[in-house]
Structure 1
Amino acid sequence: MWVMCLTGVDYFSTLGYQPSIAFEATGRLSPLATLFLVFVTLAGAVPIYSHVASSSPYGQGSIAMLARLVHGWGGKLLILVLLGFAATDFVITKTLSAADAAEHLIHNPLWHKSPEFLHSQVTLTMMLLVMLGAAFMRGFAEVIGLAVVIVAVYLTLNLILVEECLRYLAGHTELVAHWFNAVAAGDWRIATHVPVSGTGWGTIILLCFLFFPKLALGLSGFETGIAVMPLVRGEGHTPEEQLAGRIRGTRKLLLTAAIIMSCFLIASSFITVTLIPAEELIAASIPGEEVDTSLADGTTHVVPEVATEIPIKMHPAGKAANRALAYIAHGQSPTPISPIFGEEFGTIYDISTVVILWFAGASAMAGLLNLVPQYLPRYGMAPEWASATRPLVMLFTVINLVVTWIFDADVVAQGAAYATGVLVLMSSAAIATVIETYNERTGSWFNRWPWAYSMIGVLFLYTTVAVIIERPGGIKIASFFIIAIIASSIWSRTMRSTELRFTGFRYKDDESHFLWDSMRHLEFPILVPHRPGGRDLAEKEASIRQEHHLTPDDPIVFLEVERGDVSEFWQSPEVEVIQEGGRIILRFQKVSSIPHVIAAVGLELSKTGYPPEIHFGWSNESPLSANISFVLFGEGNVPWMVRELIRKAQPDPTKQPRVIVG
């Protein structure tokens, strides 16, 4: 329950602005368009994320699923791009929600008595973000405890508000009849261009589909629900039983939250379109556009054309813009809906809405704190301190403040970036689910293909593309996050390339383990790297002994290293010890960097005996190409890099293996 509440502060908080956004996008069709949104939620998002929960139970979601499917630098690049969209989603969740919370405060009559500096949208939003960061600095337990209370109070107040509104409409059916007749007659009051002609129900259904991307913010919350999975406690005695319990619990969490939210979305869109004048919901009036200013009589007012072109900034104009339910709670509707609505109930509702909007960033912060340490430090693409919680909280808080300043704390301006981040992650979840399900099934390709998941994926992709085309500002903001993550990752990976990056050896068999332990306690003073598939070992040995002036009695151990995924940062290579023709060969497989393994072998042998010498032949490769090959492919300039790795890993010169090039 408490984890659902942590997810709910993100998901349920969209009730603060979703009803007015739905009306602004679809006019009087908003209840019908919301029904389509609910259908997609229950029939599309819930099944997809139920599969994601079982496939990625540690909170990394679709990113982890795709990471298993795509390897190498291409896979790392894909993960970085998805992390950029995830950062867009979670960061904008925090800044947009805090900005809408500030807007609710500023519109509250009692807030007008506060000091003047608290009337600034930007200042108030930044204060809320700093307070959220301070709450996380205290720890997760305090944050989760607050989430339970916040969600319980908010949903209770919304239940009271919706119940009172529906009761009023039940006694004033003429309002419902007027809305229905207007919809049937084609008087939809859609502010934007209607892409199809006609007024029939077929046209209405098509419009609900075409306008669905405009309502996509109502899908937020699923990625966060997966991100907080590690906090779900699974019942059972064994780790396997506990993991299965966590998956079951998360699936129940997602379904329960989706059902609750669906009911509120349908009810809130219906009471918004029937009880609030259109002019109070429109974000801005455009010259020459008809704006419905009545509740039930259908009269209109046309904003006059002007001869001079005037730049228009889309700032909310109506009192209900971005706060439709709060508008009703304050009793600002021209109809007397309920005696309990007024300044007192409205203020209580505002406080609850402000708190849950402010706290929506808590689930987003939890998602960021779960994703970033799982990938960037492990890829060597972030400093080690990025694995700690408090430094990350401070970093994300600073980023939130910068984003708020850039957007001037404008709710509408941030909506495109938010929707883009959410939809790209949902599309990636659908794609990963399709690929994984196909790979798990057997038989012909037709029987293996998950057709239902594919249809959901196509819908999500269509929605993503539609949002990007209509509101390209979102992809621009996401691109900034992606470029920032990729650039910082390249810089960090380059700077950390001289770390040893060694976590231990794995042994191919018990004999190799025994021979390796024996070698560590014997004197093998000379190590000679040998390229697999290169010169014959006898020829290589003769050449080394001649060029390096080694006697026939000097024992030599040959090192053969076979690369694996060179994009990996940390490595624990598999070692096989082979005795062949009187020679000892150490063969290493699944290696991401050749110099690091050679340095690690020398340092390991130095722990129990005299430091060995590592003998290399001379290379004619240019320094630039050698260094690039080292960073990208784990080879190139091997002798110099081995020496540098040893020097940094072992500061005592007497314990450093010697590197000899001849």
Structure 2
Amino acid sequence: MTTRGRAPSRVRSWLFENITEEPSGHQGPFRVVSKPEHKHPWWKVMCLTGVDYFSSLGYQPGIAALAAGVLSPMATLVLVALTLFGALPVYRRVAQESPRGEGSIAMLARLLPKWGGKIFVLVLLGFAATDFIITMTLSAADGAAHVVQNPFAPAALRGENLLVTLVLLGLLAAVFLKGFAEAIGIAVALVAAYLALNLVVVAAGLWHVATAPSVVTDWTAALTAEHGNPWMMVAISLLVFPKLALGLSGFETGVAVMPQIEGDPSDTRSAPRGRIRGARHLLTTAALIMSAFLIVTSFLTTVLIPADEFKAGDRRTGARWPTWPTSTSATSSEPCTT
């Protein structure tokens, strides 16, 4: 029995739609593009990157509190400094050197010789893939926990964290299989709603701090009681901050999606100045948004949530939602110590 002449299935036709004669990153002069590729403003592409980068806002403050305790805001400041004064300048230069989305790994491949360079690049690719998968699964698992523990969620979802996580990951894969144009459109709506929700939570947290300033006094007292030496505070913050660097893969993602950024009419293949400028705006804006949220949320989680509630089996894991103190009497019995 032969399958010659049989019409390809609809799934196969959809999956291989718009496949060109060469991969999209091919550098040679004979690549055939099936149709003109639609470009997008840099802020829309930033939202696509933000699906990876901003998603860690959902759990990074909690991880910081578990890793650094009362030093969580200081460890977060170290991470923000590394982001703004280390990763951001480097990737702004990477965007200039690889405007077609090759990224820093392709730059290293050109610099390092022969097999040693190839092996090093493979190791970096493995690290990047692992980091991306960890960030993606952590974000999906965190979202599933919020869905399952939500008092308004259907009772049938109780205890189905794994199922909800797999559904969320499947939806993410389906969006990207659909295509970049659809993914960017969905990402804009998701990121806008997500950042707006985070802004509401931050505003509510700041209001609680303003109405109960004793929580800040309790935090500073615990800080000096546990770590009286300022240099020891700095040393511990430097030691624990690598545990917080979960979202830095977003910079590599931002460079990888550069071909989707709309450039200037005067852009050429060899000198896409408009695209490079848009990518730099993307990287800078994303880094500033993330840094601002990380600083504020790490401070709020440290001063408003008792340390015991971050441990497994306590209120954070679903017994009931944490309640923020709103008076001096409510905070004096539960100082934020580890």
Task: Report the TM range for the smaller structure's normalisation.
Answer: 0.7 to 0.9
CA contact 2:263–2:272 (8 Å) conserved in 1 = yes
1:236, distance to aligned residue in structure 2 (A): 2.9
Partner AA of 2:316 in structure 1 = A
Matched, 1:75 2:71: no
Given that residues 233 and 246 in structure 1 are in contact (C-alpha distance below 8 angstroms), is that contact kept between their aligned partners in structure 2? Answer: yes
Report the alpha carbon displacement of residue 241 of structure 1 after superposing the two structures with TM. Answer: 8.1
| AA of the residue aligned to 2:215 | L
Q: Quickly say closer, same or farther: Cα 1:137–1:240, change in 2 above 3 A.
A: closer
Task: State the AA in 1 paired with 2:139.
Answer: S
Look up the match of 2:316.
320
As a proportion of its length, which structure holds more helix?
A: 2
Q: Which residue of 2 aligns with 1:620?
A: none
Q: Distance in 1 between matches of 2:324 and 2:133?
A: 37
187, 196, 199: which one aligns with 1:159: 199
Which of these residues, 111, 114, 139, is aligned with residue 97 of structure 1? 139
2:169 to 114, 119, 129: 129
**1:199: Cα distance to partner?**
2.0
Q: How does 1:54-453 map to 2 (within 5 A)?
A: 54-114=96-156, 119-186=159-226, 199-239=228-268, 243-282=272-311, 316-320=312-316, 332-336=322-326
Cα 1:26/1:133, change in 2 over 3 Å: same
Residues 533-574 of structure 1: CA deviation (Å, up to 9, x unaligned): xxxxxxxxxxxxxxxxxxxxxxxxxxxxxxxxxxxxxxxxxx
TM-score by length of 2: 0.78
**Shift, 1:12, TM fit:** 1.1
Q: Which residue of 2 aligns with 1:624?
A: none
1:331 shift after superposition: 6.4
Shift of 1:225: 1.1
Name the SS of the counterpart of 1:57 in structure 2: coil
Give the superposition deviation at 1:255.
0.9
Q: Give the C-alpha shift of residue 318 in structure 1.
A: 3.0
Q: Report the Cα offset of residue 103 of structure 1.
A: 1.7
Please report the TM-score for the alignment, with normalisation by the length of structure 1.
0.41
- Over the aligned positions, Cα root-mean-square deviation in angstroms equals 2.3
User: Who is 2:71 aligned against?
Assistant: 29
For 1:122-166, what per-residue CA distance to the aligned partner results, in whole angstroms no more than 9, with x for missing partners? 222222222222222322211110111111111111112111211
Alignment partner, residue 31 of structure 2? none
The alpha carbon displacement at 1:72 in A equals: 3.0
Amino acid of the residue matched to residue 256 of structure 1? T
> Shift of residue 35 of structure 1?
1.2
Cα distance change, pair 83–95 in 1 and its aligned pair in 2 (3 A): same
CA distance in 2, matches of 1:272, 1:155: 17
Residue identity in the other structure for 1:124:
V
SS in 1 for 2:315: coil
In structure 2, the CA distance between the partners of 1:161 and 1:115, relative to structure 1 (3 Å rule), is closer
The Cα offsets for residues 51-104 of structure 1, whole Å up to 9 and x where unpaired, read as: 111112222211110111124333333332222222212233322222222122
**Shift of the alpha carbon at 1:29?**
0.8
| Structure showing greater relative contact order (alpha-carbon pairs closer than 8 Å, 6 or more residues apart) | 2
> Given that residues 49 and 222 in structure 1 are in contact (C-alpha distance below 8 angstroms), is that contact kept between their aligned partners in structure 2?
yes
Shift of 1:251: 1.1
Q: Distance in 1 between matches of 2:232 and 2:130?
A: 35
Q: Contact (CA 8 Å) 1:20, 1:320: kept in 2 or not?
A: no
Per the TM alignment, residue 260 of structure 1 is displaced from its structure 2 partner at its CA by: 0.9
Superposed counterparts of 1:544-623, under 5 Å? none
Q: Following TM superposition, by how much is the alpha carbon of 1:30 offset from its aligned partner in structure 2, in angstroms?
A: 0.5
Question: Which 5+ residue runs of structure 1 have no aligned equivalent?
Answer: 187-197, 283-315, 338-662
**In the aligned structure 1, how far is the partner of 2:300 from the partner of 2:155?**
31
Change (3 A) 1:34 1:280: same
The Cα of 1:121 is off from its aligned counterpart by 2.4
- The answer (yes or no) to whether the contact 1:226–1:250 under 8 Å persists in 2 is yes
Structure number, greater radius of gyration = 1
What is the CA–CA distance in structure 1 between the aligned matches of 2:249 and 2:177, rounded to whole Å?
A: 25
SS at match of 1:221: helix
> Gapped runs of 5+ residues in structure 2?
1-42, 328-338
Query: Aligned equivalents of 2:192 and 2:60: distance in 1?
Result: 19
- The number of residues matched between the two structures is 285
Once the two structures are TM-superposed, the CA of residue 108 in structure 1 deviates from its matched residue by: 1.3
Return the offset for 1:242. Answer: 6.3
Greater strand percent: which structure? 1
Distance 1:54 1:145, change over 3 A: same
SS state at 2:152 partner: helix
1:265 offset after TM fit, Å?
0.5
Judging changes above 3 Å, is the alpha-carbon distance between structure 1 residues 212 and 334 closer, same or farther for their aligned structure 2 residues?
closer
Look up the equivalent residue of 1:89 and give its one-letter code. D
Whole-angstrom distance in 2 between the partners of 1:202 and 1:176: 21
> Out of 40, 52, 59, which is 1:10 matched to?
52
Shift of 1:17: 0.4
CA shift, 1:336, in A, is 4.9
| Identical positions, percent | 52
Q: Which residue of 1 aligns with 2:30?
A: none
* Cα drift, residue 112 of structure 1: 4.8
Deviation of residue 48 (structure 1)? Answer: 1.1
